[in-house]
């Protein structure tokens, strides 16, 4: 017989005692494995190889399964929060009892259709995404949809189901997503520029086959450097800036660190370039972009954002 630790690890890190007994485990084997720290018990009858600060362990100890941002983070979803940093939300049945409440952990009571699908430790990705959209900031909510589309984490039909599961007033968030987006910083920058009233399209093509991260108002070719500096890309990035200029656009390069700490300066620089160069570029984007609803602060406690009326000018006041 394999060790208790091996059996639990092969099952993904969590197994119930009944399953272990079926695999040949005896009570004394389980007791011995717990005493030597090979496995831990998040809750009576459950055995796990996860650490006690693992979000999955915490969810099971509370009495449910992960949902929302914390569940998606374990699948690599785009977010400002890294794995293990996302706020923990635990899904439990509506009639759940004997829950172990934990500080800074939110418990939500979900209907049977959510409870009956997913894994031992997480709700289904569709339900996790629906919950995360309502938990996250607006720009992160859009980025999560971009992530699910770009990575194929959810199929088109599954995304349509997620949209249907949202409340009617939240569904327009899908209009802000872009299937061409291929990174989290690109998604965030696109949403921020669009909220400021600018047109922003992802992955504008260049003649040499490369693509620009974002094209702003048919004038600026915006490139976003990642979280870490790569010296071996310096020459390649400078050549790309030249190609952007050859395409008749104004190159502008920013880093993720600047995006996070000084976005106002990025916008001011972009708008100064737009004011200087508008009408003097060599190419134009003729794609159609429908008017978007204004994004406003939430009035209630269920979301940090809400939609206002459709506006053809600036997407948000100010």
pLDDT digits (tens, 9 = 90+) for 232-244: 778 888 889 999 9
pLDDT reported for residue 230:
59
Cα distance between residue 82 and residue 105, in whole Å? 17
pLDDT reported for residue 307:
85
294: left (phi over 0), alpha (psi -120 to 50) or beta: beta
Q: Is residue 4 within 8 Å of 20, Cβ to Cβ? A: yes
pLDDT reported for residue 16:
96
pTM of the model: 0.87
pLDDT reported for residue 75:
93
Helices (H), 36-109: 55-62, 68-73
Query: In terms of C-beta density within 10 A (0-12 exposed, 13-18 middle, 19 or more buried), how is residue 299 classed?
Result: exposed
Sign of the Cα pseudo-torsion (243, 248, 250, 254, in order): negative
Cα distance between residue 70 and residue 81, in whole Å? 9
Indicate the angle between helix axes 263-277 and 184-195, nearest 10 degrees: 60
pLDDT reported for residue 296:
81
| Secondary structure element (H or E) that encloses residue 185, with its range | helix 184-195
What length does the chain have?
318
Which residue's structure tokens are 């088109």? 156
| Residues of the chain scoring pLDDT < 50 | 281-288, 313-318
């Amino acid at each position: 017989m394999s060790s208790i630790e091996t059996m639990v690890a092969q099952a993904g890190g969590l197994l119930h005692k009944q399953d272990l007994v079926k695999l040949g485990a005896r009570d004394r084997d389980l007791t011995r494995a717990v005493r030597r720290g090979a496995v831990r018990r998040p809750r009576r009858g459950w055995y796990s190889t996860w650490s006690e600060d693992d979000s999955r362990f915490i969810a099971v100890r509370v009495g449910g399964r992960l949902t929302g941002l914390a569940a998606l983070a374990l699948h690599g979803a785009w977010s400002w929060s890294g794995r293990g940093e996302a706020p923990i939300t635990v899904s439990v049945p509506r009639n759940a009892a004997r829950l172990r409440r934990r500080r800074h952990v939110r418990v939500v009571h979900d209907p049977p259709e959510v409870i009956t699908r997913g894994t031992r430790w997480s709700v289904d990705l569709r339900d996790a995404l629906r919950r995360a959209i309502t938990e996250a900031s607006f720009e992160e909510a859009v980025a999560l949809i971009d992530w699910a589309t770009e990575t194929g984490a959810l199929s088109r039909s599954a995304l349509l189901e997620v949209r249907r599961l949202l409340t009617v007033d939240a569904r327009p968030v899908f209009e802000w997503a872009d299937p061409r987006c291929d990174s989290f910083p690109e998604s965030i920058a696109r949403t921020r520029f669009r909220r400021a009233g600018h047109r922003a399209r992802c992955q504008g093509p260049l003649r040499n086959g490369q693509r620009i991260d974002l094209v702003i108002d048919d004038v600026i070719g915006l490139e976003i450097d990642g979280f870490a500096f790569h010296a071996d890309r310096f020459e390649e990035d400078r050549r790309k800036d030249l190609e952007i200029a050859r395409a008749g656009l104004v190159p502008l390069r920013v880093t993720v660190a600047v995006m996070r700490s000084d976005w106002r300066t990025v916008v001011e620089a972009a708008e100064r370039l737009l004011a200087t160069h508008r009408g003097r570029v060599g190419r134009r984007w003729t794609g159609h972009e429908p008017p978007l609803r204004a994004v406003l602060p939430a009035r209630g406690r269920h979301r940090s954002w809400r939609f206002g009326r459709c506006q053809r000018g600036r997407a948000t006041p100010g």
